[in-house]
Structure 1
């Protein structure tokens, strides 16, 4: 099965066993050992499934799961169903019935208790991915605004037919602007949706990344990003017709 799995586990021995087993079974595997690393890795690698420990050094798997679900819903314009293709399996020593119920209620698709057999994990991963891929609704994966085009399936951006190379943060910022093209978004809104859950980020980082985007986009055509002084930023409104966001 062609799928990407993110392992979130702070015990190196368990993480190594899961990584080796899943790679052997044909999965692309990424790892994280903290809640913060998990959220960053999920944004960068866009996993199909997350194997998520509950007890992490800087938080809980419950919090990570909730954050991931909220981020995917925000990307879908607030429609949780539209981005319902992320699978989450909790892997934890907490086996009390109330913990299992809590994990499933928070958006988990399955719950595996430690100790576990690796064959069981692989079987559960396959089963959950079959379910989540069936339930995910297909949607348009290309965002357009004027001569700017973003293909979410390939994580590529083009302007006037020319490729634009972006860092993951620049890509996420531009995607949020595209999804709200014609609107002015405040710095607080951009911080929440692009750098969410990272309290170390200040509002000046928004100005910095807006300038990065302008430098890369404006060399290929007229300025696209509008600044509303004292408010925030947005993509300039276009006349109705070809070029509207799809």
Structure 2
């Protein structure tokens, strides 16, 4: 690579929208298969950001070395990825099922603090699967610790296998402005779900069985969470592109307004 090319690349990196991508991709006690699946989903997210002209910086939540405020400096958006279960202590409960796996309360506390700090600064936040569940916990909501193995949402014991099902997009939601169809097929793998909705959140999508599939901030802040995995390779590429483009649009608006 020539000096001119390197200089051009550096300039592009300096002007690109900067996105902090947080994930807990090494939860304790889980299989190599699940860890590989989580890494693949993170890689797919970074590829999509790059295609849209954004620069993603990945942060492993379980081994981060700086505080949230420091990590958010110069960032115009935050994505919190999927992963293992959230410690029930984070929403004031004790574990009531043996199906909970991969708990790491320090990673939970860090990602909650990251979203709290980003929200205070008006930085757009996109939560995927675990990221959406953390969003609800942040706002004082809680979770159904196990929805059962005989549902449309579960493909394997530790959710390393995706399944397809339909979700209904709520009229008037931000998601409704992203998707032409109000019923879309999604790819998901989760044995937990939102129960009591957090303060200031509204339901943006539901499955046929009533499980909440997406939430968003009911005010002006761009904060959207989806329970499904739009970044999974078999998911609709158009749906993922639309979601990322709207998120990056909000990030660019935030950049124009200043931090």
Give TM class, smaller chain: 0.3 to 0.5
Greater Rg by CA: 1
TM-score normalized with structure 2 length? 0.36
Q: Give the structure with the larger helix fraction.
A: 1
TM-score normalized with structure 1 length? 0.37
